[in-house]
Amino acid sequence: MTGASGGVGRATARAFAARGDRVALLARGREGLAAAADEVTQAGGEALVVSVDVADAKAVEDAAQQVVDAFGKIDVWVNNAFAGVYAPFTGITPDEFRRVTEVTYLGYVFGTRAALRHMLPHDRGAIVQVGSALAYRGIPLQSAYCGAKHAIQGFNESVRCELLHEGSRVRTTMVQLPAVNTPQFDWVLSRMQSRVRPVAPIYQPEVAARAIVHAAAHPRRREYWVGGSTVATLVANAVAPGLLDRYLARTGFDAQQEAGREREEAARYARYDGHGNLWSPADGPHGHDYGAHGRFDGESLPRSPQEWVSRNRGRMGAGLAVGTALALAARLRRKH
């Protein structure tokens, strides 16, 4: 699990551990990794901590080998680590844009390559790419992140087609997430005048974790959409992308920043080193553990009916078929 020290990665590591799995926790931060390992153990799993920067291809290969040496094999690899910058495109430096791309896009490429190196010889395994509604729909103030997520979506489709061509039993799938209540909004690099926030509706990271664990167990499906807002965004983007451009131009700036008193107090929340966690982890030697949840617990949804339907659509389809058959049988009995 990359990006396992906080947010969605942290919650997903706990979800895997609750099944009794052995979980390798990959991230940069020391404090978050140590706390995540404790949570995995308490949940009933076995933890392996591997400190790694996913933007370093060789380090990711070495991390994968370390997991195999400890656990014997890799059944599931989840790419989740990311970085971002909140700013208009013209306010992001070339080095910052490159760093976001290296972590958020190339980190997935390197992780997928490392996983395939160990999965292909055994002709089994699942790779889960944690995506976002922003893999299809770009929004203002997140050009580097949106560009990387779009790239992941195209990359994943290419690799999936190649595996299908080869008749491989190694599968890759993608989970597109909505806005999630994670600590990223307190540690991400931001050049906005106000504190940044996710666009409502916001979901708790456990909603994402359930979808990711399900996708890992059912990777034959090419993609999972999580949350009604994700479905609405992707459908609207497919039907009327131009109108969505104009809507986001009007609303996208304010929707991603705190208002009122929070806006006045924004200066108290200056980034801890001026660079967010872009170049060094927020939970490093001089940081602290941020956990899985951000500061939006009071307005975050603990479940998603759409996500439940998505995970259980086979049973829903079977139930619908049975219900239809029973209705037809009842109608025939009435006629006779």
β-bridge partners, 172? 127
The three-state secondary structure class of 279 is coil
Q: What is the 8-class DSSP label of residue 330?
A: H
Distance (Å, whole) CA 6 – CA 133? 20
pLDDT of 266 strictly over 80: no
Distance (Å, whole) CA 287 – CA 224? 34
Give me the residue label for tokens 């058959």: 325
pLDDT of 300 strictly over 50: yes
Contact, 307 vs 210, CB < 8 A? Answer: yes
Count Cβ atoms below 10 Å from residue 52 Cβ, excluding itself.
Answer: 21
* Mean pLDDT calculated for residue range 160-185: 98
Contacts of residue 125, defined as CB under 8 A and 6 or more positions apart, other chains included, come to 74, 75, 76, 77, 115, 118, 119, 170, 171
Contacts of residue 265, defined as CB under 8 A and 6 or more positions apart, other chains included, come to 195
H or E element: which one contains 221? none
Q: Would you place residue 132 in the very low, low, confident or very high pLDDT band (cuts 50, 70, 90)? A: very high
* Mean pLDDT calculated for residue range 86-114: 98
Q: Given this model, what pLDDT does residue 118 score?
A: 98
Q: Would you place residue 267 in the very low, low, confident or very high pLDDT band (cuts 50, 70, 90)? A: very low
* Mean pLDDT calculated for residue range 299-316: 78
pLDDT of 88 strictly over 80: yes
Distance (Å, whole) CA 49 – CA 164? 33
Q: Would you place residue 309 in the very low, low, confident or very high pLDDT band (cuts 50, 70, 90)? A: confident
Distance (Å, whole) CA 293 – CA 184? 9
* Mean pLDDT calculated for residue range 259-268: 56
Distance (Å, whole) CA 202 – CA 229? 9
| Max CA separation in the chain (angstroms) | 80
Count Cβ atoms below 10 Å from residue 229 Cβ, excluding itself.
Answer: 21
